Structure 1
Amino acid sequence: MSVIERHNTKQTGSGDTAMVFAHGFGCDQNMWRWVAPAFEVRYRTILFDHVGAGGSDLSAYDPAKYASLEGYADDVVELSRALGVERGIFVGHSVSAMVGILASKKAPELFESLVLVCPSPRYVDDGDYVGGFTRPQIDELLEFLDSNHMGWSQAMAPTIMGNTDRPELGEELTNSFCRTDPEIAKRFARTTFLADNRADLEGVTARCLVLQCSEDVIAPREVGEYVHRHLPGSELVLLDATGHCPNLSAPEATTAAIEAFLRGR
């Protein structure tokens, strides 16, 4: 199976510049369905599933490789090269924002611009750094997931999504979490929530847009401001949106912010 097939890759659009969309934990490429089509007129849009998610080849999942975000970044580099991406645009949601950072440093020629949607280089508080969670809270979260994947999904997804006045959004994320292979979900959660990629923000050469929601229990405003401060020349946009998934809850605002950033290329 080719790397393109392995990641259930879908290409649309006809532009010269490629625009690669990467989904977050417990999700798949379907989470971009309200955002990606807006860019098909000007860009070659590429959607894919991380190995272990969505329609990807689950047999390709290697626990050792994917024990760190480097494994996912290597996949992005391999896939992008196979698709002939050069000086493209990477749009990463949540944990995939850091995957994009790592990929851009491994292969700077691939992406001229990075759009980081609700990024977090570290979810655990550390001294003056505010990540949003204490280590005991993260340990409790992971223990809950280990013991009861379905219960964890039903409890956490609506909290992550926010927007309690629109319960259908939380239900969609719950269903997405529940479709994920439980063992892969447990491993990916550890890779995600225990990662510390703060040092990786140094030396990024791509133009960066940081999209931050006004209220986000997973990546609070302090995290977005930290990422912005440590990415020289980056732009920070505070979306009029709540929750951790503005690509679903506020696709118009998300799309408008990305379009404004790209017009300045």
Structure 2
Amino acid sequence: MDIRRRNNVTVTGRADGPVLMLAHGFGCDQNMWRLVLPTLVKGYRVVLFDYVGSGNADPSAWNEQRYSSLDGYALDVLEVCKELDLRDVIFVGHSVSAMVGVLAAAKAPHRFSRLVMVAPSPRYIDEDGYRGGFDADDIDELLDSLESNYLGWSAAMAPVIMGNPDRPELGQELTASFCATHPDMARVFARTTFLSDSRQDLKTVTLPTLVLECRQDVIAPREVGAYVHATIPGSRLVTLEATGHCPQLSAPEATAEAITDFIRASR
């Protein structure tokens, strides 16, 4: 299979620069990174892609069994790395992709040099001693609503996820992105995302890691960022003066600056 076509792979920036791989979250695609690209392409070779089932990836390659586990998304990452013969990749994962990057790095450590986790959450459901931001009933209700009326769910939830009500165009963009995803594929990705528990996987991380959180985020509250930071030895936690779950759109300059500062500091 043509992996580049399957995952709609785009390579831009400096051909001789360090490799940055940008991985989108649930309901999104590589277009979500466009506002940080002008900064990143100046110093890096930037690899973007869409997971199968998202964006302009080949929908014929989608398989429910494979993409019912975060391992399936990690396999997409590793197959793109193999196709492009990438080494020393600085993996930048947004939301659930932060955990996908953890899994990919554990499976093929020779491919990666650093991890950048943008608004990460290893588990969305609260437990005794752990706050993920939702109780089990919240997640059940969210998934039931998504499955019964995906377009209605998208219109209602995307602005909440995005935050920044004073900038409605951001919520509208995320709504459009959600609505462009096939409902059956979105249903599987949503269950995989919101029912996942990657807390034990965090303990496998040995790479220099940046945990990048927003000051206010209903999907990944700051207790989650603190937990991820505490669980990954030597990680760096940066809190952006931004709100919402998508700082690459709501605060692109600060997001790009935090990424590049971390890379320079960890050389």
Q: Shared fold by TM > 0.5?
A: yes
Q: Is the 8 A contact 1:94 1:117 kept in 2?
A: yes
Give distance in 1, aligned partners of 2:127 and 2:216. Answer: 21
Give distance in 2, aligned partners of 1:234 and 1:58. Answer: 36
Q: Does 1:253 align with 2:254?
A: yes
- Bigger drift between 34-43 and 142-151 goes to 34-43
Q: Note the alpha carbon deviations across 1:212-248, whole angstroms, 9 max, x for none.
A: 1000000000000000000001000000000000000
Q: Does 1:8 align with 2:13?
A: no
Alpha-carbon shift at residue 36 of structure 1 (Å) = 2.5
Letter in 2 for 1:77: L
Alpha-carbon shift at residue 5 of structure 1 (Å) = 1.3
Give distance in 2, aligned partners of 1:225 and 1:254. Answer: 18
Alpha-carbon shift at residue 37 of structure 1 (Å) = 2.9
Q: Could you tell me which residue of structure 1 aligns to residue 222 of structure 2?
A: 221
Alpha-carbon shift at residue 16 of structure 1 (Å) = 3.6
Q: Which secondary structure does the structure 1 equivalent of 2:110 belong to?
A: coil
Q: Note the alpha carbon deviations across 1:144-200, whole angstroms, 9 max, x for none.
A: 001000110000000000000000000000000011000101111000000000000
Give distance in 1, aligned partners of 2:239 and 2:69. Answer: 29
User: Alignment length, in residue pairs?
Assistant: 265
Q: What is the TM-score with the length of structure 1 in the denominator?
A: 0.99
Q: Could you tell me which residue of structure 2 aligns to residue 230 of structure 1?
A: 231
Q: Could you tell me which residue of structure 1 aligns to residue 166 of structure 2?
A: 165
Q: Could you tell me which residue of structure 2 aligns to residue 154 of structure 1?
A: 155
Give distance in 2, aligned partners of 1:98 and 1:127. Answer: 22
Q: Could you tell me which residue of structure 1 aligns to residue 69 of structure 2?
A: 68
Q: Which secondary structure does the structure 1 equivalent of 2:109 belong to?
A: coil
Q: Could you tell me which residue of structure 2 aligns to residue 57 of structure 1?
A: 58
Q: Note the alpha carbon deviations across 1:109-148, whole angstroms, 9 max, x for none.
A: 1110111000000000011100000000000000000100
Q: Does 1:86 align with 2:87?
A: yes
Aligned runs of 1:173-212 on 2, under 5 Å?
173-212=174-213
Q: Could you tell me which residue of structure 2 aligns to residue 104 of structure 1?
A: 105
Q: Note the alpha carbon deviations across 1:87-128, whole angstroms, 9 max, x for none.
A: 110000001000001000100111101110000000000111
Q: Which secondary structure does the structure 2 equivalent of 1:113 belong to?
A: strand
Q: Note the alpha carbon deviations across 1:73-93, whole angstroms, 9 max, x for none.
A: 011011111111111100000
Q: Is the 8 A contact 1:67 1:188 kept in 2?
A: yes
Q: Note the alpha carbon deviations across 1:18-73, whole angstroms, 9 max, x for none.
A: 11000010000000001123121221100000000011000111100111101100
Give distance in 2, aligned partners of 1:7 and 1:37. Answer: 22
Alpha-carbon shift at residue 204 of structure 1 (Å) = 1.0
- Bigger drift between 250-259 and 7-16 goes to 7-16
Regions of 4+ moved over 6 Å: none
Give distance in 2, aligned partners of 1:101 and 1:248. Answer: 23
Q: Which secondary structure does the structure 1 equivalent of 2:125 belong to?
A: coil
Give distance in 2, aligned partners of 1:126 and 1:144. Answer: 23
- Bigger drift between 124-133 and 7-16 goes to 7-16
